[in-house]
Structure 1
Amino acid sequence: MLASSHALARTGLDAAALKPAECDVRRAHSMPFETVTIDYEGREHLPDTETLRELAAEKNVLMTVPVRADGFDPLGDDSLFGRLPDGVGTVFVAGHSAYLTEDERSRAIAPRLGAALERSPDGWVGTEGIERVATATGATQFELLSRSTTRDVRALRAAGFDGTVAVYAPTVLTDDEDAILDAVGAYVARRKPVARALPDDAPTDASADGRARNVLSAASRDFALVGTATEVGERVEELKAAGVDLVVGYPARGIDSFLDR
């Protein structure tokens, strides 16, 4: 079932995250969000300039930029920056190792992040794996939802950080447990505390049972936003009460689940 605008409004989500390897990002035109982030999944999936320009004419668009990757390296090959038209913002990240070569993975992150922010001072910074460096920039912090996010953001605010904090979370708008595990089970299973708790060789989808199912079910609520629109809205409200400014939902059951009917 597709989510209506009314249901999405109840979630309190501020933006949607799209993966260009999974969908045509132009479908964001039909989404009831003003802000859309587009994940980097390798240069072969980078949307073309005209597509990004058309989106940016209607939406606040931010493209994830791995600062160690050739084409986006501000201290080396930066040729892909030219593919990003005016009006498209950036989320600077260290870069997922799956999309980086061995040479790219060995490059220093901090100086590249600094150079990238000099180039685009309004850019966001993805904090995964580089939390201290990201905080030191003072830029918008783009965090992956975890079981400690609420506590961590409260601590960040208590320490005096007054910049913007955005949180990214796979989102599943159903309370059907099998559907939840099929959508985010594999994702949460990759998080280190979950991987340690899972039995060896356990399935990570709806076929999981026993201890594995219990671990995955609990982790889905820690590392993703799942449940009815109202339940997701309550979780988002908790995050914002802790000091989160923006919550970005990735439609883990596919873009259709976030489209207007």
Structure 2
Amino acid sequence: MLTSDSYARTGLDALALKPTEHDLDVAASLDVETLALDYEGRAHLPTPATLEALAADRTLHLTAPVRADGFDPLGDDSLLREVPETVALTFVAGHGAYLDEEERARAIAPRLRAALDWHADRANETKPWVGTESVERLALSASEEAVQYDLLGRSTAGEVRAMRRMGFDGDLAVYAPTVLTDDDDALLDALGGYVARRGPVRAALPEDASTDASATGRAREVLLAASRDYALAGTPDDVRDQVESLREAGVDTVVGYPARGLTRFR
């Protein structure tokens, strides 16, 4: 079970959870100041009561895909209006896997603008987050109103340093799958498939290579190296070192996703 001590040792600022993978009843009992709840389709959206319980004694960010029915501020916004005022929002374009063809075709820019305007009228004063995946320029244009929320990559630290040198003073948050183990097989079972989907990693992998603990040779080397570029991995102290490096680069909030579940996040 995740303990306050193990979480504190990592130096993480927040945890990202998926409703289909993490027990939200367990999450409600965690001594964690900030939770970020991912969107995995309408069927898995927690009820308003569950959201209120999770937000009772912490900051809770709920992912809201602005192109999806129910969260579309220029169309069906029924689910958006049901989000309790105690819950903050993370506005994203929305992963194609959770959108139908019509939703994927909707314009992002006007919906993001409308969502931020809607959020400004809420009683919740927590700054919204904007997921930058595939919409970096749109997210950057809203930097005074929202926290930039990006995926960890091999160039993240360098890019953040460059932004800070150029005078960017907006808030930056980074999401990273996190595995607290120094066992290579466990690491690959948890992260291999994820890092293999990243463009540079996919290009470097041998054709038809295994991406889990059964990977060997060149594939294993590439995947293990990528696990350190695109995720936070190792002992809690190892993860803390990685988190501190990101903070030194200029990241304000580091969000860890327990890739092996909460019960193995030790």
What TM-score do you get using the length of structure 2 for normalisation? 0.94
SS of equivalent residue, structure 2 residue 21: coil
Aligned-residue offset at 1:233: 0.3
Aligned-residue offset at 1:246: 0.6
Where does structure 2 lack aligned partners over 5 or more consecutive residues? 121-126
CA displacement, residues 68-110 of structure 1 (integer Å, 9 cap, x when unaligned): 1111011111111133111100000011010011111111111
Aligned-residue offset at 1:58: 1.5
Q: Could you tell me how far apart the structure 1 residues matched to 2:65 and 2:197 are? A: 20
How many corresponding residue pairs? Answer: 258
SS of equivalent residue, structure 2 residue 134: coil
Partner of 2:137 in structure 1? 132
Aligned-residue offset at 1:65: 0.6
SS of equivalent residue, structure 1 residue 128: coil
Partner of 1:184 in structure 2? 191
Where does structure 1 lack aligned partners over 5 or more consecutive residues? none
SS of equivalent residue, structure 1 residue 107: coil
SS of equivalent residue, structure 1 residue 171: strand
Q: Is the 8 A contact 1:49 1:83 kept in 2?
A: yes
Q: Is the 8 A contact 1:48 1:83 kept in 2?
A: no
Partner of 1:31 in structure 2? 30
Structure 1's consecutive aligned runs of 4 or more residues displaced over 4 angstroms after TM superposition are none
Partner of 2:174 in structure 1? 167
Letter in 1 for 2:142: T
Partner of 2:148 in structure 1? 141
Partner of 1:81 in structure 2? 80
Q: Could you tell me how far apart the structure 2 residues matched to 1:160 and 1:79 are? A: 39
Q: Is the 8 A contact 2:28 2:53 kept in 1?
A: no
Partner of 1:256 in structure 2? 263
Q: Is the 8 A contact 1:31 1:258 kept in 2?
A: no
Q: Could you tell me how far apart the structure 1 residues matched to 2:98 and 2:33 are? A: 28
CA displacement, residues 34-85 of structure 1 (integer Å, 9 cap, x when unaligned): 1001000000000001011111112210100101111101111111113311
Aligned-residue offset at 1:256: 1.1
Letter in 2 for 1:214: E
| 1:155 matches 2:154 | no
Aligned-residue offset at 1:3: 4.6
What TM-score do you get using the length of structure 1 for normalisation? 0.96
Q: How does 1:2-151 map to 2 (within 5 A)?
A: 2-121=1-120, 122-138=127-143, 139-151=146-158
Q: Could you tell me how far apart the structure 1 residues matched to 2:62 and 2:3 are? A: 26
Worse-superposed segment, 126-135 or 114-123: 114-123
| 1:242 matches 2:222 | no
Q: CA RMSD in A?
A: 1.2
